[in-house]
Amino acid sequence: MDNHFTVTIHDDRGVKQYNLHHFVKKAIMYAILFIGVVSLISVGTILYLNDEVDDIKIKRLKEQTDYTKLLEKNNQLSSSIKISHDKLKEKKEELDKISDSLSDIEEMMGISPIAEIPLQERVDLAKLNAQDMTSLFQFIPNGSPIIYKGITSKFGYRIHPTLKRREFHRGTDMRAKMKTPVYATADGIVEYSGFHKKSGYGNLVILQHNYGFRTYFGHLNKVVIKSGTFVKKGTLLAYTGNSGMSSGPHLHYEVRFMSRPVNPFWFIKWDVQNYNEIFEKEKKIPWQSLITATAQIKVLNQTRVQLSSQLAPQLKGK
C-alpha cells in the first residue's frame, strides 16, 4: 500500500512535484482544523468580552449617574442640616433672651427663679403672678391721676397754707397748671361729683373702688363726670383748678382704705417696675388678702394709662 501522495505546484518557473507522506497530510489537516477551532473560539470570546465591556460601561455610567444624584442629595441634606442648625441656634438665642427677660420679670415680681424648673413652668408661674398684678392694677388705685410734675405738699402733718395752723393733711397736693386733665386711677363708681363746701375741697370728685378703696380729687376747676357713673381706669373726670380753700392751682389727691387715709404717694408711684415696694411701704392694708381675693378674677383687657410711664425718672428719691 502506498502511503505517499504527490503535491504538484505550477508557477512561472515550471512544474514542481512533491511526494509527501499521508501522516504529513493528516497533520496539516489537523492543524488547519485546530486553527479554525481556535479562531472560532477567539472570535466568540472577543464577542463575549465586547458584550461584557459594553455592560460594564453601561453599569459604570449608571453608577456615575447614581453617584452624582447621591452627591446632590448629600449636598441638599447638608444644606438642610445647616439651615436646621441655624434655626436651632436662633431658637436657642431666643429662648436665652426669653429666659433672661423672664428672670427680670420674676425678680420684679418677687419670684425666686429655680434653675431646675422648666422654662414653660416658669412662664406659667409668671403668668399667674402677672394676672394677679393685672387685677390689682385695674381695681385698686395706682399711678398718677395727672401728668406728674411734682408734689407741693406731702401726706401727713403740716401748717395749713390758708388757715396757718398745724393740721393733718390727708392727701397729697400735686403740682398742676389750671385745667390739667384728671383721670381715674382705677375702675369704680362716682360716689360724689360737685362742689363740696364743708370740706374746703371746692369742686370735688369721689370715686368708690372695689375692696374698700376710695379716691378723692379736690380743688377742681371743672367736673365732667356725674355721680352714679361707672368709670374705667383712665376715664377723664375733671380739670384741675383752685376752688375751695386753696392757695393756688393744684390737685389735692387722696387714697382711703376703709375710710382711713393712706399715703397717696406710694399709690402714685406704684407700677410694674416697683410692684412689690408698696407692700413694704403701706402696711396698713392686708395685701395678701387682697391678692387672694383678686386671684380668681381675670381682666381680659387691662386699661393702660400712659401717665405712669412719665413718673419713673421724676419719682426717684422723692
pLDDT digits (tens, 9 = 90+) for 210-220: 999 999 999 99
**What pLDDT score was predicted for residue 62?**
87
Band the pLDDT of 310: cuts 50, 70, 90: very low
Least confident interval from 1-15, 63-77, 105-119? 105-119
112 domain-assigned: no
DSSP assignments along 20-40, one per residue: EEHHHHHHHHHHHHHHHHHHH
CA 216 from chain centre, in angstroms, equals 40
- Long-range Cβ pairs for the range 271-275 (8 Å, 24+): 271/142, 271/143, 271/308, 271/311, 271/312, 272/108, 272/133, 273/108, 273/312, 275/108, 275/109, 275/110, 275/133
pLDDT tens-digit readout, 262-277: 999 999 999 877 877 8
Strand (E) or helix (H) holding 55 = helix 22-109
Task: Name the pLDDT band for 223 (thresholds 50, 70, 90).
Answer: very high
Q: What is the per-residue pLDDT for 203?
A: 96
Q: Within a domain: residue 114?
A: no
Residue 306, in any domain of the structure: yes
Helix axes 287-294, 119-139, angle to 10 degrees: 100
End-to-end Cα spacing for the chain: 153
65/166 same-domain check = no
pLDDT category, 311, cuts 50, 70, 90? very low
Q: Is the pLDDT of residue 125 over 50?
A: no
Residues 80 and 14 in one domain: yes
The share of the chain scoring above pLDDT 70, in percent, equals 74
The pLDDT value recorded for residue 93 is 79
Assigned domain for 38 exists: yes
Res. 153: pLDDT tops 60 = yes
d(CA 277, CA 140): 15
Among 45, 63, 96, the domain boundary falls at: 96
Query: Is the residue at 122 inside a domain?
Result: no
Clarify whether residues 87 and 149 are in a common domain. no
Distance in angstroms (rounded) separating the CA atoms of residues 122 and 129? 11
Instruction: Return the C-alpha cell found at 302.
Output: 387691662
- At 190, is the secondary structure helix, strand, or coil? strand
Total structural domains within the chain? 2
> Do 48 and 194 belong together in one domain?
no
Residues 214 and 267 both lie in one domain? yes
Per residue in 33-73, pLDDT tens?
Answer: 888 888 888 888 888 888 888 888 888 888 888 888 888 88
Residue 300: predicted pLDDT: 63
What CATH number is associated with residue 232? 2.70.70.10
In a domain, 142, yes or no: yes
> Cα–Cα distances in Å, from 30 out to 8, 20, 247?
21, 16, 148
Cβ within 8 Å of residue 251, ≥6 positions away: 145, 146, 173, 174, 176, 180, 182, 217, 218, 219, 220, 240
Query: pLDDT digit string (tens) for 154-211?
Result: 998 877 766 677 888 889 999 999 999 999 999 999 999 999 988 889 999 999 999 9
Whether residues 187 and 296 share a domain: the answer is yes
Instruction: Kindly tell me if the per-residue pLDDT of 28 is higher than 80.
Output: no
Do 271 and 160 fall into the same domain? Answer: yes
What pLDDT shows up at residue 37? 84
The range of the structural domain enclosing residue 169 comes to 137-315
pTM beyond 0.95 = no
Angle at 195 between CA 189 and CA 198, to 5 degrees: 105
- Domain assignment present for residue 206? The answer is yes
Task: Measure Cα distances from 125 to 111, 117, 215 in Å.
Answer: 9, 10, 32
What integer pLDDT is reported at residue 46 of this predicted model?
86
pLDDT value at residue 3:
60
In whole angstroms, give the CA distance from residue 232 to residue 54. Answer: 90
Name the average pLDDT for the chain: 81
Whether residue 106 lies inside any domain: the answer is no
